[in-house]
Chain A
Amino acid sequence: MAELLSQPFSWLNLIIMVSAGVVVLGVVLVFVMYAIYFERKVIGWMQLRNGPNRVGPWGLFQTVADVLKLMIKEDIVPAKADRFLFLIAPIIAYTPAFAIIAVIPFSENVFFADVNVGILYYGALSSISITGILLGGWASNNKYAIMGGMRSVAQMVSYEVPLIMSFLGVVLLTGSLNMKDIVAAQQDGMWFIIPQFLGFVIFLIAGNAELNRTPFDLPEAENELVAGYFVEYSGFRFAFFMLSEYVYIFALSSVMTVMFLGGWDAPFGLTFIPGGVWFALKFLLLVFYLFWARATFPRVKTQQLMGFAWKVLIPLALFNVMITALFKTISQAG
């Protein structure tokens, strides 16, 4: 795919690129549908329930039916809402989430763009989504939605900092921002979860907060704010907000797999299993963790959340960067 970008423009290339985009969109949509199914099943089992089991065998088509239902529902715009902003907010929230997927290498050969600043690109794009969420909350002209939007911005802006700082340890060890290089570095040595365990934990917590998921789901806290920033949304615009949440799960788990769990690298020399399978396994483990956390934890409060980010996570992340740099310098000198 990457070489296409450097070629001169032609209609054929455009068609190839657009169709590749459509294929990714399809893959992502299927992932999102089955991630929701997986989540509902996992949480169902943890809560002594069966989860969805009516539509199709084992309820496999439940989420498909849900998505279809959302598509054909009326798209309600509140009379007092800021119509234009209200309409574009879900798109602003969704597009960057989708664009992130372009830089993630799923295996040695399956990737869309081999970008030299892959991780930076991830960090930069994921902050754009906040705009969509804030706009959604503001344009709805609903008090609960504004509070949800406010919380969301405060939370995401704070957690972006430790999230990106936790990258730095890995970047220092590798000397590259390119995701493929990072995996290659882990193939030669060990997975970065071992030397960068602190970074991994910080990334996991900050990432969980970025995703607005339990225990950091304050922006959509059902018991306080009913639904938070998307309380006024219905139909496919609501679906877009949901979609961007799950696409972020997809993106974040993928990035973690690449950065800390060795990407498609096979452990214990089990190389006969293709790298794509390993990637999927590690990735699903992280997704499962997010669902597990959702079934277990209560929600934190705003002050506690912010305090935790600024007083605990950021110093820890800085400490991690410093230690990593120190070791790197010593090992190079010696």
Chain B
Amino acid sequence: MAVRTEEMLLNVGPQHPSTHGVFRLVVKVDGERITEAIPVVGYLHRGTEKLAEDLTYTQIIPYTDRLDYLSSMTNNYALVQAVETLMDLEIPERAEYLRVLAMELNRVASHLVWWGTNLLDLGAISPFLFAFRDREFIVNMLNELSGARLTFNYMRVGGVKWDAPEGWIKKVEEFVPYMREKLKDYHTLVTGNEIFLARVKNLAIYDDKEAIAYGMTGPVLRGSNVKFDVRKNQPYSIYDRFEFDIPVGETGDVYDRYMVRMNEMEQSLRIIEQAVAQFPEEGEIIAKVPKVIRPPEGEVYTRMESSKGELGVHLVSKKKDKPYRLKLRRPSFVNLQLLPKLLVGRTMADIPAVLGAIDIVLGEVDA
């Protein structure tokens, strides 16, 4: 007698320990094998884009903090960059350096959280705590800079809100060798681990064509051997002054995405090192900006490399103090689109590994 089997519909999330927030995945499983996966997003939708139409430009900045809340600094920059481009503002040197330092520190912090949580998804519990120990240094430094630990609200149109306190640059300088040392430890603890390699090698492969066709950006794109980084390909701020490489992967599996992010942290440290060396002794931290910001009538799309990928802002201004329309290109949301395809044919155990390697933040996916 043949045993009758049937597929099981399983709801993963929105309350599930490894969906990184309120992400829901409806999977059809045949035993452990996934035959279909449908992501359901929108549980954290707050209508940021619509809200922005009723807010002045300075008031929007705290809302951007809450998109990708793990790298608020880069989100801040994405918005002010668009407004500044529209107004054609000249940004003071010191402000530019402070911005780059804050953004790169934040990128390292964001990647650290990814590293910890991704390993936690694979069942290793200790890396999470190591990552948070080191992230704490960054968070404290950014706290000294902005007065907040997570939602920094630090940048303003034309510059930054606060100058670096005394001794801050020294702290950043000392952090770089410390973090390099710790990254080595991370590699010893995790990267060479046989179980880890068995879990992530040749998992969820997609090639460069597919990644580009799905509009992927950031580490998930570079993992598939596409050398594209907005910081290099279309330098914004003062990124053209620094020397750094774009790490890329070869096969486009989860392991490559892992290595890309690990190497990116090292590159960020390189940028921080150079920025500290070039940091101007004194100078203005904010340009002369009118009290009420009214960008000239027009439309602009600016982009930048956040820790998740290309974060774009499409801004339409009608010469009012509030935007006519604000559209955010959120990399987490775009990168997520390939997930159903990657999961089909894999097992339940691969869900957190594949999802973790995409590195989504639900605040950004749902906006």
State which residues 106-133 of B face A: CB under 8 Å: 119-126, 129-130, 133
Contacts of B347 in A (CB 8 A): 301-303
Distance in angstroms from A101 CB to nearest chain B CB is 29
Judging by beta carbons under 8 Å apart, are A224 and B126 in contact? no
A303 vs B347: C-alpha distance in the bound complex, in angstroms? Answer: 9
CB under 8 Å from chain A, chain B span 246-301: none
Of A28-36, A44-52, A171-179, the one contacting chain B is A44-52
The reply to whether the CB of B350 lies closer than 8 angstroms to some CB of chain A is yes
B231 to chain A, nearest CB (A): 32
> CB within 8 A of A48: which of B121, B130, B195, B198?
B130
Task: Specify which chain A residues have a CB less than 8 angstroms from the CB of B121 in the assembled complex.
Answer: 223
Q: Does A19 contact B (CB under 8 A)?
A: no
Query: Does A300 lie within 8 Å of B348, measured CB to CB?
Result: no
The verdict on A147 contacting chain B, using a C-beta distance below 8 Å, is yes
Does A298 sit within 8 A of B, measured CB to CB? yes
**Contacts A223-B120, A223-B352, A224-B18 given: A300-B199 contact, CB under 8 Å?**
yes
Contact with B along A120-164 (1 / 0, CB 8 A): 000000000000000000000001100100110000000000000
Beta-carbon contact of B199 and A301 below 8 Å: yes
How near does chain B come to A230, taking the closest CB pair, in angstroms? 15
> How does the 8 Å CB contact mask read for B342-367 relative to A, with 1 for contact and 0 for none?
00000111111000000000000000
Instruction: Bits for A293-319, please: 1 = Cβ < 8 Å to B, else 0.
Output: 011111111111000000000000000
Partner of A298, one of B10, B18, B193, B348: B193
Task: Determine whether the beta carbon of A221 is less than 8 Å from that of B123.
Answer: yes
What residue of chain A has the Cβ atom nearest to residue B8's Cβ? Answer: A143
Is there an interface contact between B123 and A225, defined as CB atoms closer than 8 Å? no
**Number of A residues, CB within 8 Å of B:** 31
* A:176-226 near B, CB below 8 Å: 214-215, 217-218, 221-226
Residues of A with C-beta under 8 A to B16: 226
**Complex alpha-carbon distance, A298 and B129, angstroms:** 14
Cross-chain contact B198 with A304 (CB below 8 angstroms) = yes
Q: Does the CB pair A47–B193 fall under 8 Å?
A: no
Whether B123 lies near A217 (C-beta < 8 A) is yes
Please name all residues of chain B whose beta carbon is closer than 8 Å to the beta carbon of A47 when the two chains form the complex.
125-126, 129-130
Answer yes or no: B196 CB below 8 A from chain A CBs.
yes
Looking across the interface, which residue of chain A has its beta carbon closest to that of B31? A150
A302 lies within 8 A of B349 (CB): yes
Question: What chain B residues lie within 8 Å of A150 (beta carbons)?
Answer: 31-32
Task: Flag if A48 contacts B8 (CB, 8 Å).
Answer: no
Could you tell me if B123 and A214 are in contact, using CB atoms closer than 8 angstroms?
A: yes
CB distance from B292 to the nearest CB of A (A): 49
Known interface pairs A296-B124, A300-B198; 20 further A-B residue pairs with C-beta atoms within 8 A, sorted by A's residue number: A43-B125, A47-B130, A143-B10, A151-B32, A223-B121, A225-B348, A297-B123, A297-B193, A298-B119, A298-B124, A298-B195, A299-B123, A299-B195, A299-B199, A299-B349, A300-B199, A301-B198, A301-B350, A302-B32, A304-B199
Query: A-B pairs with the 4 shortest C-beta distances?
Result: A299-B123, A223-B18, A298-B124, A47-B129
